[in-house]
């Protein structure tokens, strides 16, 4: 097989079989992706940093391992890592000028696991600054463009790795999801995006945005590939006190192609005014398809979902205010000389942080301040409990819940950048899962005005196996997984 587009168009599962059969080498597979990156990056800007030397060294080692009989699922497979994941052999900036040029002294746990699994790191994916955004326009370096229409956003905050997978610059990517930052860009870019249960994957080495909400997960072309990557990165980590000690099952082994006996919930709260007509139609068609596959469609109620967005925008900024206090110009990152330490703090943070990060720090500091903590933050945590209880009751009746990933398809670059409220609404359907700590997955669910529509499934805590099984059955019954952007 010749090196070229036929290599970059493979799934992880397909590439694994062909690598093991010596149809091509890991170096050839990596070179094909690096060549595609070189060709497409000027238009798409998926990566803050491209790492060809690292990638080719890893690919060479992968070929040696394959020659010695290593058949690990990710050996020799190219990936894009969101630039909030610490890596020792490339920069980690979190999309911010305050960390421009920063190199971590250690790897994130998920990065270490991928190294051990033989994966190949082609670059650090672009992100909204400190993962705060829904479009990747808040990156302090440059916006990323959607491969389906370069005038549109790829979603955010993990827009870089999402677009890289959609454009076949990488075979999978890792992102982080605090309020939808994996699922929403997956929906906008027409790929699979999985947010595992909070605690399923270690957060050690993830530059924190909101510690009680953040979770790391994969972007892939297929649900099967998502299952493969989740098995590689999941599991307990003594370096992360919130990681779960639960065993990691064979997610790939749970996949199925029919839904007989599966109960799928539909919540009226996920149908809101202002939804794009094409999105509504695509989701309605998907629900009909799920029934044809044998699923029982059950109405469920999630009454406190309406408060999820406002609850999130108290909780997340409050936690961000505390987490980002460490970026002060003293220990690492950007620093500005000043006559007093107070002025040094102010000037460093004033220059280093962008407007959206400053907005959220100020909101969070206000919510945590004396006299307002009980009125805002404490009350938000009480509402968060009610949101979780709504899901618990719903899952007594159903196995998974189906919903749109986002109310619209990808919007045009610049359309919402000056309207934070409209920007925040892009995550209205994804935020509840983070508030409840449950897993969610977005899969391609059709098209509206020639742009991908994301279909979201939500599952019970630590039941990613059922979630992936349902998503796989739907995916395999539809043509969407075979459709790719017509990039030249």
pLDDT tens column, 314-326: 999 999 999 999 9
Tell me how far apart the alpha carbons of residues 253 and 273 are, in angstroms, rounded to a whole number: 39
pTM tops 0.85, yes or no = yes
> For residue range 358-405, what is the model confidence (pLDDT) as tens digits?
999 999 999 999 899 999 999 999 999 999 999 999 999 999 999 999
Question: What HEC string does 176-203 produce?
Answer: ECCCCCCHHHHHHHCCEEEECCCCCECC
Ordered strands of the 172-176 beta sheet = 47-50, 120-125, 78-82, 172-176, 216-220, 192-195, 440-448, 451-459, 400-404, 263-267, 296-300
> For residue range 334-346, what is the model confidence (pLDDT) as tens digits?
999 999 999 999 9
> Minimal CA–CA distance to 182: which of 193, 171, 192, 190?
193
Q: What is the pLDDT, as a whole number, of residue 54?
A: 98
Q: To the nearest 10°, report the CA torsion of 71, 75, 76, 78.
A: 140
Cβ atoms of 234 and 215 closer than 8 Å? no
Tell me how far apart the alpha carbons of residues 281 and 276 are, in angstroms, rounded to a whole number: 9
Fold exhibited by the domain 5-262+399-482: Amidase signature (AS) enzymes (3.90.1300)
Name the percent of the chain lying above pLDDT 70: 99
CA angle in degrees (0–180, nearest 5) for 304-157-282: 60
> For residue range 396-443, what is the model confidence (pLDDT) as tens digits?
999 999 999 999 999 999 999 999 889 999 999 999 999 999 999 999
Higher pLDDT, 447 or 425: 447
Cβ atoms of 192 and 223 closer than 8 Å? yes
**H or E, element range at 448:** strand 440-448
Q: Average the pLDDT over 47-54 and give the result.
A: 98
Model confidence at 330: pLDDT above 60? yes
Q: Which residue has the tokens 């897993």?
A: 439
Model confidence at 5: pLDDT above 80? no
The SS3 call for residue 458 is: strand
Cβ atoms of 77 and 12 closer than 8 Å? yes
> For residue range 284-305, what is the model confidence (pLDDT) as tens digits?
999 999 999 999 999 999 999 9
Tell me how far apart the alpha carbons of residues 207 and 86 are, in angstroms, rounded to a whole number: 7
Q: Compute the radius of gyration of the chain from its Cα atoms.
A: 21
Phi and psi at residue 451, to the nearest 5° = -115, 145
Q: Indicate the pLDDT class of residue 488, thresholds 50, 70 and 90.
A: low
What would the two tokens of residue 309 be? 């967005």
Q: Indicate the pLDDT class of residue 4, thresholds 50, 70 and 90.
A: low
Cβ atoms of 454 and 444 closer than 8 Å? yes
Q: What is the DSSP string of 11-42?
A: -HHHHHHHHHTTSS-HHHHHHHHHHHHHHHHH
Cis peptide before 254 (omega within 30 of 0): no
Give the orientation angle of helix 223-233 with respect to helix 464-476, to 10 degrees: 160
- The mean pLDDT value of the chain amounts to 96
Residue ranges of domains in the chain? 5-262+399-482
> For residue range 156-182, what is the model confidence (pLDDT) as tens digits?
999 999 999 999 999 999 999 999 999
Q: What is the DSSP string of 396-439?
A: TT-SEEEEES-SSSPPBTTSSTT-HHHHHGGGTTTHHHHHHT--
What is the set of active-site residues? 82, 157, 181
Cβ atoms of 428 and 422 closer than 8 Å? no
Tell me the helix, strand and coil percentages in the chain, rounded to 5. Answer: 45, 15, 40
């Amino acid at each position: 097989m010749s090196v070229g587009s036929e290599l970059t168009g493979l799934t992880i599962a397909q590439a694994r079989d062909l690598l093991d059969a010596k149809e091509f080498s890991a170096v050839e597979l990596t070179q094909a992706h690096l060549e595609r990156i070189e060709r497409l990056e000027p238009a798409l800007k998926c990566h803050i940093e491209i790492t060809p030397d690292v990638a080719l060294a890893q690919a060479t080692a992968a070929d040696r391992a394959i020659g010695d009989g290593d058949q690990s699922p990710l050996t020799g497979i190219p990936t894009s890592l969101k630039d909030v994941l610490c890596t020792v052999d490339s920069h980690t900036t979190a999309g911010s000028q305050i960390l421009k040029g920063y190199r971590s002294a250690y790897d994130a746990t998920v990065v270490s696991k991928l190294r051990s699994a033989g994966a190949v790191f082609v670059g650090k994916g672009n992100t909204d600054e400190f993962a705060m955004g829904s479009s990747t326009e808040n990156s302090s370096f440059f916006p990323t463009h959607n491969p389906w229409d370069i005038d549109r956003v790829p979603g955010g905050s993990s827009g870089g790795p999402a677009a890289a997978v959609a454009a076949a610059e990488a075979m999978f990517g890792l992102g982080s999801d605090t309020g939808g930052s994996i699922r929403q860009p997956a929906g906008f870019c027409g790929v699979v995006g999985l947010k595992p249960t909070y605690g399923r994957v270690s957060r050690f080495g993830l530059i924190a945005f909101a510690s009680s909400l953040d979770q790391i997960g994969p972007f892939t072309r297929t649900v099967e590939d998502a299952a493969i990557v989740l098995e590689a990165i999941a599991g307990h980590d003594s370096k992360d006190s919130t990681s779960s000690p639960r065993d990691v099952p064979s997610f790939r082994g749970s996949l199925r192609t029919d839904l007989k006996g599966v109960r799928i919930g539909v919540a009226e709260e996920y149908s809101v005014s202002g939804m794009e007509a094409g999105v509504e139609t695509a989701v309605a068609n998907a629900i009909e398809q799920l029934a044809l596959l044998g699923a029982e469609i059950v109405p469920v109620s999630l009454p406190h979902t309406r408060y999820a967005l406002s609850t999130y925008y108290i909780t997340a900024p409050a936690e961000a205010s505390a987490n980002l206090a460490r970026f002060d110009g003293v220990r690492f990152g950007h620093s500005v000389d000043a006559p007093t330490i107070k002025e040094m703090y102010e000037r460093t943070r004033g220059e280093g942080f962008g407007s959206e990060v400053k907005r959220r720090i100020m909101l969070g500091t206000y919510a945590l301040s004396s006299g307002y903590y009980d009125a805002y933050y404490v009350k938000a945590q009480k509402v968060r409990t009610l949101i979780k209880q709504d899901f618990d009751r719903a899952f007594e009746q159903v196995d998974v819940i189906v919903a749109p990933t986002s109310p619209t398809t990808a919007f045009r670059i610049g359309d919402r950048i000056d309207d934070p409220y409209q920007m925040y609404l892009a995550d209205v359907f994804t935020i509840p899962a983070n508030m409840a700590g449950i897993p969610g997955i977005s899969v391609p669910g059709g098209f509206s005005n020639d742009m991908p529509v994301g279909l979201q499934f939500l599952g019970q805590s630590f039941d990613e196996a059922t979630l992936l099984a349902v998503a796989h059955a739907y995916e395999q019954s539809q043509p969407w997984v075979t459709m790719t952007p017509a990039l030249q």
